[in-house]
Protein backbone atom coordinates (compact mmCIF):
# COMPACT_ATOMS: atom_id res chain seq x y z
CA UNK A 1 0.00 0.00 0.00
CA UNK A 2 2.61 2.50 1.09
CA UNK A 3 5.11 1.54 -1.61
CA UNK A 4 2.41 1.65 -4.30
CA UNK A 5 1.46 5.12 -3.26
CA UNK A 6 5.11 6.14 -3.10
CA UNK A 7 5.79 4.78 -6.58
CA UNK A 8 2.75 6.55 -7.89
CA UNK A 9 3.80 9.86 -6.43
CA UNK A 10 7.34 9.53 -7.71
CA UNK A 11 6.00 8.45 -11.08
CA UNK A 12 5.17 11.82 -12.52
CA UNK A 13 4.27 10.57 -16.00
CA UNK A 14 0.69 11.75 -15.60
CA UNK A 15 1.96 15.25 -14.86
CA UNK A 16 4.28 14.92 -17.87
CA UNK A 17 1.34 13.90 -20.10
CA UNK A 18 -0.26 17.23 -19.35
CA UNK A 19 2.95 19.22 -19.67
CA UNK A 20 1.59 21.69 -22.23
CA UNK A 21 -1.46 22.50 -20.12
CA UNK A 22 0.73 22.86 -17.03
CA UNK A 23 3.32 25.07 -18.71
CA UNK A 24 0.71 27.40 -20.15
CA UNK A 25 -0.66 27.58 -16.61
CA UNK A 26 2.79 28.48 -15.29
CA UNK A 27 2.95 31.19 -17.97
CA UNK A 28 -0.10 32.77 -16.31
CA UNK A 29 1.79 32.83 -13.02
CA UNK A 30 4.57 34.75 -14.76
CA UNK A 31 2.11 37.18 -16.38
CA UNK A 32 0.39 37.94 -13.09
CA UNK A 33 3.79 38.24 -11.46
CA UNK A 34 5.19 40.70 -14.02
CA UNK A 35 2.12 42.94 -13.99
CA UNK A 36 1.68 42.98 -10.20
CA UNK A 37 5.42 43.50 -9.60
CA UNK A 38 5.32 46.61 -11.81
CA UNK A 39 2.25 47.89 -9.96
CA UNK A 40 3.74 47.08 -6.53
CA UNK A 41 7.04 48.86 -7.20
CA UNK A 42 5.39 51.96 -8.67
CA UNK A 43 2.78 52.22 -5.89
CA UNK A 44 5.37 51.37 -3.25
CA UNK A 45 7.65 54.19 -4.41
CA UNK A 46 4.67 56.56 -4.38
CA UNK A 47 3.69 55.56 -0.84
CA UNK A 48 7.31 55.83 0.37
CA UNK A 49 7.60 59.36 -1.04
CA UNK A 50 4.34 60.26 0.74
CA UNK A 51 5.74 58.89 4.00
CA UNK A 52 8.90 60.99 3.86
CA UNK A 53 7.06 64.12 2.68
CA UNK A 54 7.13 67.38 4.69
CA UNK A 55 3.35 67.89 4.91
CA UNK A 56 1.56 65.92 7.63
CA UNK A 57 -1.52 64.86 5.55
CA UNK A 58 0.79 63.20 3.02
CA UNK A 59 2.65 61.35 5.76
CA UNK A 60 -0.61 60.15 7.31
CA UNK A 61 -1.85 58.95 3.93
CA UNK A 62 1.40 57.12 3.23
CA UNK A 63 1.41 55.45 6.66
CA UNK A 64 -2.21 54.41 6.24
CA UNK A 65 -1.43 52.82 2.89
CA UNK A 66 1.57 50.92 4.25
CA UNK A 67 -0.08 49.68 7.45
CA UNK A 68 -3.24 48.58 5.65
CA UNK A 69 -1.68 46.62 2.84
CA UNK A 70 1.36 45.29 4.68
CA UNK A 71 -0.87 43.74 7.34
CA UNK A 72 -3.54 42.38 4.99
CA UNK A 73 -3.52 38.68 4.07
CA UNK A 74 -3.10 38.21 0.29
CA UNK A 75 -6.16 35.99 0.04
CA UNK A 76 -8.65 38.35 1.70
CA UNK A 77 -7.32 41.21 -0.44
CA UNK A 78 -7.75 39.08 -3.54
CA UNK A 79 -11.36 38.27 -2.65
CA UNK A 80 -12.08 41.84 -1.59
CA UNK A 81 -10.70 43.36 -4.78
CA UNK A 82 -12.54 40.83 -6.92
CA UNK A 83 -15.96 40.99 -5.25
CA UNK A 84 -16.18 44.30 -3.36
CA UNK A 85 -14.11 46.87 -5.25
CA UNK A 86 -16.14 46.60 -8.51
CA UNK A 87 -19.36 47.15 -6.55
CA UNK A 88 -17.94 50.22 -4.81
CA UNK A 89 -16.59 51.66 -8.07
CA UNK A 90 -19.84 50.84 -9.81
CA UNK A 91 -21.85 52.63 -7.14
CA UNK A 92 -19.55 55.65 -7.35
CA UNK A 93 -19.74 55.83 -11.14
CA UNK A 94 -23.35 54.78 -11.41
CA UNK A 95 -22.66 51.80 -13.69
CA UNK A 96 -22.22 48.08 -13.37
CA UNK A 97 -18.57 47.11 -13.22
CA UNK A 98 -16.99 43.68 -13.15
CA UNK A 99 -13.30 42.92 -12.93
CA UNK A 100 -11.66 40.28 -15.06
CA UNK A 101 -10.06 37.78 -12.64
CA UNK A 102 -6.64 38.60 -14.07
CA UNK A 103 -7.14 42.31 -13.34
CA UNK A 104 -8.32 41.57 -9.78
CA UNK A 105 -5.26 39.39 -9.21
CA UNK A 106 -2.87 42.09 -10.41
CA UNK A 107 -4.58 44.84 -8.39
CA UNK A 108 -4.74 42.78 -5.19
CA UNK A 109 -1.17 41.49 -5.27
CA UNK A 110 0.07 44.88 -6.48
CA UNK A 111 -1.56 46.61 -3.50
CA UNK A 112 -0.36 44.10 -0.88
CA UNK A 113 3.22 44.11 -2.12
CA UNK A 114 3.24 47.91 -2.56
CA UNK A 115 2.98 48.01 1.24
CA UNK A 116 6.16 45.93 1.58
CA UNK A 117 7.96 47.88 -1.14
CA UNK A 118 7.04 51.21 0.43
CA UNK A 119 8.86 50.20 3.62
CA UNK A 120 11.91 49.03 1.69
CA UNK A 121 12.02 52.26 -0.32
CA UNK A 122 11.55 54.34 2.82
CA UNK A 123 14.38 52.59 4.64
CA UNK A 124 16.55 53.20 1.59
CA UNK A 125 15.59 56.87 1.32
CA UNK A 126 16.12 57.53 5.01
CA UNK A 127 19.55 55.90 4.92
CA UNK A 128 20.82 58.67 2.62
CA UNK A 129 22.85 61.12 4.73
CA UNK A 130 21.37 64.64 4.94
CA UNK A 131 24.65 66.04 3.72
CA UNK A 132 24.03 64.57 0.27
CA UNK A 133 20.76 66.50 -0.06
CA UNK A 134 22.35 69.67 1.26
CA UNK A 135 25.24 69.28 -1.16
CA UNK A 136 22.77 68.93 -4.02
CA UNK A 137 20.94 72.06 -2.91
CA UNK A 138 24.22 73.95 -2.53
CA UNK A 139 25.01 73.13 -6.18
CA UNK A 140 21.65 74.62 -7.15
CA UNK A 141 19.89 71.33 -8.04
CA UNK A 142 16.10 71.31 -7.87
CA UNK A 143 14.30 68.94 -5.47
CA UNK A 144 13.36 66.69 -8.36
CA UNK A 145 16.93 66.55 -9.63
CA UNK A 146 18.15 65.71 -6.14
CA UNK A 147 15.61 62.88 -5.90
CA UNK A 148 16.44 61.28 -9.23
CA UNK A 149 20.17 61.99 -9.47
CA UNK A 150 21.33 61.67 -5.86
CA UNK A 151 18.74 59.80 -3.77
CA UNK A 152 17.25 57.17 -6.07
CA UNK A 153 20.50 55.72 -7.49
CA UNK A 154 21.70 55.05 -3.94
CA UNK A 155 18.30 53.82 -2.77
CA UNK A 156 18.06 51.29 -5.58
CA UNK A 157 21.50 49.93 -4.82
CA UNK A 158 20.79 49.61 -1.11
CA UNK A 159 17.37 48.03 -1.45
CA UNK A 160 18.26 45.65 -4.25
CA UNK A 161 18.79 42.49 -2.14
CA UNK A 162 15.57 42.93 -0.17
CA UNK A 163 13.64 44.15 -3.19
CA UNK A 164 14.60 41.05 -5.13
CA UNK A 165 13.62 38.78 -2.22
CA UNK A 166 10.22 40.45 -2.21
CA UNK A 167 9.89 39.69 -5.91
CA UNK A 168 10.44 36.02 -5.10
CA UNK A 169 7.74 36.21 -2.40
CA UNK A 170 5.43 37.90 -4.87
CA UNK A 171 5.93 35.10 -7.34
CA UNK A 172 5.04 32.59 -4.63
CA UNK A 173 1.91 34.58 -3.84
CA UNK A 174 0.72 34.34 -7.44
CA UNK A 175 -0.23 30.69 -6.79
CA UNK A 176 -3.42 31.82 -4.99
CA UNK A 177 -4.90 33.54 -8.05
CA UNK A 178 -6.35 30.19 -9.08
CA UNK A 179 -8.89 30.76 -6.28
CA UNK A 180 -10.58 33.50 -8.35
CA UNK A 181 -10.30 31.32 -11.49
CA UNK A 182 -7.21 32.80 -13.11
CA UNK A 183 -6.09 29.71 -15.07
CA UNK A 184 -2.61 29.43 -13.57
CA UNK A 185 -0.72 26.22 -12.84
CA UNK A 186 -2.63 25.44 -9.62
CA UNK A 187 -5.92 25.99 -11.44
CA UNK A 188 -4.86 23.60 -14.20
CA UNK A 189 -3.82 21.01 -11.61
CA UNK A 190 -7.20 21.15 -9.89
CA UNK A 191 -9.00 20.88 -13.24
CA UNK A 192 -6.95 17.89 -14.37
CA UNK A 193 -7.35 16.29 -10.94
CA UNK A 194 -11.11 16.58 -11.30
CA UNK A 195 -11.03 14.50 -14.49
CA UNK A 196 -8.16 12.11 -13.73
CA UNK A 197 -8.99 11.61 -10.02
CA UNK A 198 -5.30 11.23 -9.26
CA UNK A 199 -4.23 14.10 -7.04
CA UNK A 200 -1.02 12.40 -5.93
CA UNK A 201 1.22 12.76 -9.02
CA UNK A 202 -0.42 15.99 -10.13
CA UNK A 203 0.00 17.97 -6.91
CA UNK A 204 3.47 16.51 -6.35
CA UNK A 205 4.44 17.55 -9.88
CA UNK A 206 3.11 21.07 -9.32
CA UNK A 207 4.93 21.35 -5.99
CA UNK A 208 8.22 20.23 -7.56
CA UNK A 209 7.81 22.57 -10.53
CA UNK A 210 7.12 25.58 -8.30
CA UNK A 211 9.97 24.54 -6.05
CA UNK A 212 12.37 24.39 -9.02
CA UNK A 213 11.38 27.86 -10.24
CA UNK A 214 11.42 29.54 -6.83
CA UNK A 215 14.58 27.80 -5.64
CA UNK A 216 16.45 28.79 -8.81
CA UNK A 217 15.25 32.39 -8.52
CA UNK A 218 16.05 32.60 -4.80
CA UNK A 219 19.54 31.16 -5.34
CA UNK A 220 20.26 33.69 -8.08
CA UNK A 221 19.06 36.48 -5.81
CA UNK A 222 21.27 35.24 -2.98
CA UNK A 223 24.28 35.10 -5.27
CA UNK A 224 23.62 38.51 -6.79
CA UNK A 225 23.02 40.24 -3.47
CA UNK A 226 26.21 38.85 -1.94
CA UNK A 227 28.14 40.37 -4.83
CA UNK A 228 26.26 43.64 -4.52
CA UNK A 229 26.86 43.82 -0.81
CA UNK A 230 30.56 43.26 -1.26
CA UNK A 231 30.71 46.02 -3.86
CA UNK A 232 28.68 48.51 -1.88
CA UNK A 233 30.42 47.95 1.43
CA UNK A 234 33.90 47.80 -0.11
CA UNK B 1 -25.68 51.60 8.37
CA UNK B 2 -28.53 49.09 8.51
CA UNK B 3 -26.55 46.69 6.37
CA UNK B 4 -23.59 46.79 8.70
CA UNK B 5 -25.78 45.91 11.64
CA UNK B 6 -27.63 43.16 9.80
CA UNK B 7 -24.68 41.57 8.01
CA UNK B 8 -21.81 42.10 10.42
CA UNK B 9 -22.93 42.94 13.95
CA UNK B 10 -25.79 40.43 14.01
CA UNK B 11 -23.44 37.76 12.66
CA UNK B 12 -20.82 38.45 15.29
CA UNK B 13 -21.12 35.04 16.90
CA UNK B 14 -20.43 33.23 13.64
CA UNK B 15 -17.51 35.53 12.86
CA UNK B 16 -16.13 35.13 16.38
CA UNK B 17 -16.41 31.36 16.09
CA UNK B 18 -14.44 31.56 12.84
CA UNK B 19 -11.86 33.81 14.44
CA UNK B 20 -11.35 31.31 17.27
CA UNK B 21 -10.72 28.57 14.71
CA UNK B 22 -8.20 30.89 13.02
CA UNK B 23 -6.47 31.39 16.38
CA UNK B 24 -6.48 27.66 17.04
CA UNK B 25 -4.94 26.82 13.66
CA UNK B 26 -2.34 29.57 14.01
CA UNK B 27 -1.37 28.59 17.55
CA UNK B 28 -0.88 24.92 16.64
CA UNK B 29 1.04 25.85 13.49
CA UNK B 30 3.22 28.32 15.39
CA UNK B 31 4.11 25.88 18.17
CA UNK B 32 4.86 23.10 15.67
CA UNK B 33 6.90 25.48 13.50
CA UNK B 34 9.11 26.54 16.41
CA UNK B 35 9.76 22.95 17.46
CA UNK B 36 10.20 21.78 13.87
CA UNK B 37 12.40 24.74 12.99
CA UNK B 38 14.62 24.15 16.00
CA UNK B 39 14.88 20.44 15.19
CA UNK B 40 15.73 21.09 11.52
CA UNK B 41 18.27 23.72 12.47
CA UNK B 42 20.02 21.52 15.05
CA UNK B 43 20.02 18.54 12.64
CA UNK B 44 21.55 20.72 9.95
CA UNK B 45 24.22 22.15 12.21
CA UNK B 46 25.14 19.27 14.47
CA UNK B 47 24.15 15.91 12.96
CA UNK B 48 26.51 15.34 10.07
CA UNK B 49 24.85 12.33 8.39
CA UNK B 50 21.43 14.03 8.34
CA UNK B 51 22.70 17.39 7.15
CA UNK B 52 21.82 16.94 3.43
CA UNK B 53 18.32 15.75 4.32
CA UNK B 54 17.72 18.65 6.73
CA UNK B 55 19.05 21.15 4.17
CA UNK B 56 16.82 19.71 1.46
CA UNK B 57 13.75 19.88 3.68
CA UNK B 58 14.49 23.46 4.75
CA UNK B 59 14.97 24.59 1.16
CA UNK B 60 11.86 22.74 -0.02
CA UNK B 61 9.67 24.19 2.73
CA UNK B 62 11.00 27.70 2.10
CA UNK B 63 10.82 27.70 -1.68
CA UNK B 64 7.41 26.11 -2.20
CA UNK B 65 4.43 28.51 -2.09
CA UNK B 66 2.19 28.01 0.95
CA UNK B 67 -0.94 27.37 -1.09
CA UNK B 68 0.85 24.65 -3.06
CA UNK B 69 2.09 23.07 0.16
CA UNK B 70 -1.38 23.18 1.63
CA UNK B 71 -2.88 21.37 -1.34
CA UNK B 72 0.03 18.95 -1.39
CA UNK B 73 -0.30 18.06 2.30
CA UNK B 74 -4.07 17.86 1.98
CA UNK B 75 -4.25 15.66 -1.11
CA UNK B 76 -0.95 13.78 -1.26
CA UNK B 77 0.01 13.07 2.34
CA UNK B 78 -3.08 11.03 3.24
CA UNK B 79 -2.36 8.67 0.33
CA UNK B 80 1.35 8.65 0.97
CA UNK B 81 1.46 8.41 4.75
CA UNK B 82 -2.18 7.79 5.70
CA UNK B 83 -2.04 11.07 7.62
CA UNK B 84 -3.34 13.77 8.24
CA UNK B 85 -6.87 12.45 8.44
CA UNK B 86 -8.73 15.73 8.86
CA UNK B 87 -8.75 19.03 6.98
CA UNK B 88 -8.02 20.84 10.22
CA UNK B 89 -4.82 18.86 10.78
CA UNK B 90 -3.75 19.24 7.14
CA UNK B 91 -4.27 22.99 7.51
CA UNK B 92 -2.05 23.61 10.51
CA UNK B 93 0.55 21.05 9.42
CA UNK B 94 1.00 22.79 6.06
CA UNK B 95 1.32 26.18 7.76
CA UNK B 96 3.82 24.71 10.21
CA UNK B 97 5.95 23.15 7.45
CA UNK B 98 6.59 26.39 5.65
CA UNK B 99 7.30 28.38 8.79
CA UNK B 100 9.59 25.68 10.20
CA UNK B 101 11.80 26.13 7.12
CA UNK B 102 12.03 29.89 7.68
CA UNK B 103 12.50 29.57 11.44
CA UNK B 104 15.26 26.97 10.98
CA UNK B 105 17.26 29.56 9.05
CA UNK B 106 16.43 32.27 11.60
CA UNK B 107 17.64 30.04 14.45
CA UNK B 108 20.78 29.13 12.53
CA UNK B 109 21.66 32.80 12.05
CA UNK B 110 20.99 33.37 15.76
CA UNK B 111 23.15 30.44 16.87
CA UNK B 112 25.99 31.42 14.56
CA UNK B 113 25.90 34.94 16.00
CA UNK B 114 26.83 33.64 19.49
CA UNK B 115 30.60 34.11 19.83
CA UNK B 116 32.60 30.87 19.88
CA UNK B 117 34.43 31.90 23.01
CA UNK B 118 31.25 31.71 25.08
CA UNK B 119 30.71 28.10 24.11
CA UNK B 120 34.33 27.29 24.89
CA UNK B 121 33.99 29.03 28.22
CA UNK B 122 31.01 26.84 29.02
CA UNK B 123 32.95 23.71 28.12
CA UNK B 124 35.92 24.95 30.13
CA UNK B 125 33.84 25.10 33.29
CA UNK B 126 32.70 21.54 32.67
CA UNK B 127 29.32 21.95 30.96
CA UNK B 128 28.30 19.32 28.41
CA UNK B 129 27.26 20.27 24.87
CA UNK B 130 23.54 20.00 25.72
CA UNK B 131 23.91 22.19 28.79
CA UNK B 132 25.95 24.75 26.82
CA UNK B 133 23.20 24.82 24.23
CA UNK B 134 20.39 25.15 26.78
CA UNK B 135 22.00 27.62 29.18
CA UNK B 136 24.32 29.73 27.04
CA UNK B 137 23.36 29.58 23.38
CA UNK B 138 19.56 29.27 23.22
CA UNK B 139 18.67 32.09 25.65
CA UNK B 140 20.70 34.51 23.51
CA UNK B 141 19.18 33.08 20.34
CA UNK B 142 15.71 33.67 21.76
CA UNK B 143 16.66 37.28 22.43
CA UNK B 144 18.14 38.06 19.03
CA UNK B 145 15.55 36.17 16.99
CA UNK B 146 12.45 37.39 18.87
CA UNK B 147 11.51 40.02 16.23
CA UNK B 148 11.86 37.49 13.39
CA UNK B 149 9.80 34.91 15.31
CA UNK B 150 6.97 37.38 15.91
CA UNK B 151 7.11 38.33 12.25
CA UNK B 152 6.80 34.67 11.32
CA UNK B 153 3.66 34.44 13.45
CA UNK B 154 2.09 37.26 11.44
CA UNK B 155 3.01 35.37 8.27
CA UNK B 156 1.20 32.32 9.68
CA UNK B 157 -1.90 34.40 10.46
CA UNK B 158 -1.94 35.81 6.93
CA UNK B 159 -1.43 32.41 5.32
CA UNK B 160 -4.03 30.83 7.59
CA UNK B 161 -6.76 32.46 5.47
CA UNK B 162 -6.00 29.78 2.88
CA UNK B 163 -7.10 26.88 5.09
CA UNK B 164 -10.68 27.96 4.32
CA UNK B 165 -10.04 26.56 0.83
CA UNK B 166 -9.87 23.04 2.29
CA UNK B 167 -13.07 23.78 4.26
CA UNK B 168 -11.51 24.48 7.66
CA UNK B 169 -14.13 26.75 9.22
CA UNK B 170 -11.94 29.71 10.07
CA UNK B 171 -12.87 33.40 9.88
CA UNK B 172 -12.33 33.51 6.10
CA UNK B 173 -14.56 30.45 5.63
CA UNK B 174 -17.37 31.82 7.79
CA UNK B 175 -17.25 35.17 6.06
CA UNK B 176 -17.44 33.62 2.59
CA UNK B 177 -20.29 31.43 3.78
CA UNK B 178 -22.16 34.54 4.96
CA UNK B 179 -21.52 36.15 1.57
CA UNK B 180 -23.03 33.12 -0.13
CA UNK B 181 -26.09 33.25 2.12
CA UNK B 182 -26.80 36.98 1.84
CA UNK B 183 -25.28 37.83 -1.56
CA UNK B 184 -23.99 41.07 -0.10
CA UNK B 185 -20.22 40.97 -0.08
CA UNK B 186 -19.41 44.64 0.61
CA UNK B 187 -19.94 44.85 4.36
CA UNK B 188 -18.99 41.27 5.24
CA UNK B 189 -15.76 41.11 3.28
CA UNK B 190 -14.72 44.63 4.28
CA UNK B 191 -15.30 43.80 7.94
CA UNK B 192 -13.37 40.54 7.59
CA UNK B 193 -10.45 42.30 5.92
CA UNK B 194 -10.49 44.92 8.69
CA UNK B 195 -10.44 42.23 11.39
CA UNK B 196 -7.44 40.51 9.83
CA UNK B 197 -5.57 43.76 9.27
CA UNK B 198 -6.25 44.94 12.82
CA UNK B 199 -5.20 41.60 14.30
CA UNK B 200 -1.96 41.37 12.32
CA UNK B 201 -1.21 45.01 13.13
CA UNK B 202 -1.81 44.40 16.83
CA UNK B 203 0.37 41.28 16.85
CA UNK B 204 3.28 43.04 15.19
CA UNK B 205 2.95 46.12 17.40
CA UNK B 206 2.84 44.02 20.60
CA UNK B 207 5.64 41.80 19.32
CA UNK B 208 7.83 44.81 18.65
CA UNK B 209 7.21 46.18 22.15
CA UNK B 210 7.87 42.80 23.70
CA UNK B 211 11.14 42.21 21.89
CA UNK B 212 12.29 45.77 22.63
CA UNK B 213 11.47 45.25 26.31
CA UNK B 214 13.29 41.90 26.35
CA UNK B 215 16.32 43.47 24.74
CA UNK B 216 16.37 46.33 27.22
CA UNK B 217 16.00 43.95 30.14
CA UNK B 218 18.40 41.19 29.10
CA UNK B 219 20.36 42.63 26.18
CA UNK B 220 24.10 42.82 26.28
CA UNK B 221 25.96 45.87 25.00
CA UNK B 222 24.33 48.62 22.99
CA UNK B 223 21.87 46.25 21.27
User: CA nearest B176: which of B162, B158, B156?
Assistant: B162
Query: Is residue B204 less than 8 Å (CB to CB) from chain A?
Result: yes
Query: Which of B63, B159, B160 lies closest to A211 in CB terms?
Result: B63
Interface of B with A in 151-170 (CB under 8 A): 154, 157-162, 164-165
Least confident segment among A72-76, A97-101, B76-80, B160-164: B76-80
Q: What is the ipTM of this complex?
A: 0.90
pLDDT tens-digit readout, A121-131: 999 988 889 89
CATH code (residue A220): 1.10.3720.10
In a domain, B223, yes or no: no
Interface of A with B in 201-220 (CB under 8 A): 203-204, 206-207, 210-211, 214-215, 218
pLDDT tens-digit readout, B93-146: 999 999 999 999 999 999 999 999 999 999 999 999 889 988 999 888 888 899
Interface of A with B in 184-203 (CB under 8 A): 186, 189-190, 193, 199-200, 203
Q: What are the residues whose beta carbons fall under 8 Å from the beta carbon of B208, sequence distance 6 or more?
A: B147, B150
pLDDT value, residue B222: 43
Per the prediction, chain A carries an average pLDDT of 91
CATH code (residue B90): 1.10.3720.10
pLDDT tens-digit readout, B8-33: 888 889 999 999 999 999 999 999 99
Distance between B157 CA and the closest CA of chain A, angstroms: 8
Q: In which band, very low, low, confident or very high, does the pLDDT at B1 lie, cut at 50, 70 and 90?
A: low
In a domain, B133, yes or no: yes
Per the prediction, chain B carries an average pLDDT of 91
Query: Is residue A154 less than 8 Å (CB to CB) from chain B?
Result: no
Q: What are the residues whose beta carbons fall under 8 Å from the beta carbon of B67, sequence distance 6 or more?
A: A175, A176, A178, A179, A186, B162, B165
Q: In which band, very low, low, confident or very high, does the pLDDT at A9 lie, cut at 50, 70 and 90?
A: low
Interface of B with A in 55-94 (CB under 8 A): 59-60, 62-69, 71-72, 75-76, 79-82
Query: Is residue B9 less than 8 Å (CB to CB) from chain A?
Result: no
What Å distances lie between residue B19 and A68, A80, A88, B173, B195, CA to CA?
A: 19, 18, 26, 10, 9
Distance between A71 CA and the closest CA of chain B, angstroms: 5
d(CA B86, CA B80): 15
Residues of B in contact with A200 (CB under 8 A): 75-76, 79-80
Q: Which structural domain, as residue segments, surrounds residue A86?
A: 2-233
Instruction: Report whether B138 contacts B146 (CB < 8 A).
Output: no
Q: Which structural domain, as residue segments, surrounds residue B113?
A: 2-218
Query: Which of B65, B76, B172 lies closest to A199 in CB terms?
Result: B76
Instruction: Report whether A76 contacts B196 (CB < 8 A).
Output: yes
Total structural domains within chain A:
1
In a domain, B103, yes or no: yes
Distance between B47 CA and the closest CA of chain A, angstroms: 24
Go through B126-149 and write b for each residue having 16 or more CB atoms within 10 A of its CB, e for each that does not: ebeeeebbeebbbebbebbbbbbb
- Do the chains contact at A80 and B193, CB–CB below 8 Å? yes
In a domain, B39, yes or no: yes
- Do the chains contact at A215 and B204, CB–CB below 8 Å? no
Total structural domains within chain B:
1
Amino acid sequence: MFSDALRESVDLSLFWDYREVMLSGLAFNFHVFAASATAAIALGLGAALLRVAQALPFRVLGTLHVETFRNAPDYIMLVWVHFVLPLLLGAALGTRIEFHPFASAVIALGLVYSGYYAETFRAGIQSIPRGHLEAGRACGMSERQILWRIVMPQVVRRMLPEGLNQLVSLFKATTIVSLITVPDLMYRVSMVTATEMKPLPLYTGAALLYFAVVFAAASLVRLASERWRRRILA
Amino acid sequence: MGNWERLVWNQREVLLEGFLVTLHVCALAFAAAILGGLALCLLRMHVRPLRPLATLLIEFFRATPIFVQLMWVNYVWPELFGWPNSFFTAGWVALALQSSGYLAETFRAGIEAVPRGQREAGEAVGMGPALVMARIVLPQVALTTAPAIVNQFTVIVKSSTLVSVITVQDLMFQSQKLVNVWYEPIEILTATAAIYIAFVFAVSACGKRLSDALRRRFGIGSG
